[in-house]
Amino acid sequence: MPAYEHFAAFYDIVMDDPGPRAERVDTAIERFRPDAGSLLELGCGTGAILARLNTAAELTGLDLSPEMLAIAGRTVPGAHLILGDMSDFDLGRRFDVIICVFDSINHLMNVAAWASLMRCVHAHLADDGIFVLDVNTIGELRRLGDELPWVYDFDGGTAIIDVTFAEDAHGVGVSDWDLRVFEQVNASRYELHHERIGEIALPLDRVRRLAADGFDLLDEVDEEGLPATDESVKAHFVLRRVN
C-alpha cells in the first residue's frame, strides 16, 4: 500500500503546526533571495506549507502521494502540483528557491536517495538560487522512539502513533512510524486505517558532506537559532547553488 493512501485525510489533524516552518522559509527568502520569482517544494504533502508562505513567488509542489496532492489542490489552488519522486525528478526548468521541510527528506530511506535529491535540487536551482532544508536529527528520532505511543483525539476519531528506533552499523538512525487512525463512522462503529512509514536520520556532518558538492552553506541552526547538533530536535539549513 502506498504511503499516506489512507493517512492523507488525517495528516493535518495530527501533525505539528506548519506555521512556524513556513515562517522559517519566509525568513530565509527575505534574507537570501528576496527577489525570488519561483519556488518549488519537494514533498509538499497537503500544501500546508505552501499555503502559509508570504512570498510572491510562483508556487510549485511535488509529492509522491496522489492522495496528498488531491488535498493540496484544494488547499493551494493557485499552485502547480506535480506527482513525482523528490529523489528523482526532471521538471525541465529552474527555480529561484527550492524547499524541503517538515523533515520530508528523512522519508528517503537510504543515503543514495538523499544524494540523488541533492543532485536534482542543484540541477533545478537558478544561478545563486537557495535550497531551504530541514531534517530530523538522530537524537530526535531516538527520543521519539523512547516515548510512549502518542494518542490524539480529534473530532471524528482517534489517532495512535508509535515510533520505534534503531541505529545501524554505519551510524544511520532508522525509525518506523506505526500509524493507526480509528475513524468514527457512527455512534457505535469505528473504522481502522493502518499505515507504517519509515524515516532515517544521518549524522549532520554527513548531511553537510552531501551538500558540499554544488552548494555553499549559508545558515545551519537548531529550533532555537543556535548551532545545530546531532542532539537538536531539528537542523535547519539554507544552501546556495554554486558551480
Euclidean distance between CA atoms 28 and 26, whole angstroms:
5
CATH assignment at residue 89: 3.40.50.150
- Count the Cβ atoms, other than its own, within 10 Å of residue 186: 7
Q: Note whether 75 and 175 are same-domain residues.
A: no
Please indicate, yes or no, whether the overall pTM of this predicted structure exceeds 0.85.
yes
Full domain range(s) for residue 25 = 7-136+203-241
* Per-residue pLDDT tens over the stretch 84-123: 999 999 999 999 999 999 999 999 999 999 999 999 999 9
229 within a domain of the structure (yes/no)? yes
Give the residue from 140, 129, 147 showing the smallest Cα distance to 204: 140
The arithmetic mean of pLDDT across residues 15-43, rounded, is 95
147 within a domain of the structure (yes/no)? yes
162 within a domain of the structure (yes/no)? yes
Confidence of residue 16 (pLDDT cuts 50, 70, 90): confident
Q: Note whether 207 and 165 are same-domain residues.
A: no
Question: With 70 as the cut, is the pLDDT of residue 2 above it?
Answer: no
Q: How many domains does the chain have?
A: 2
204-212 and 111-124 are packed helices; what angle lies between their axes, rounded to 10 degrees? 40
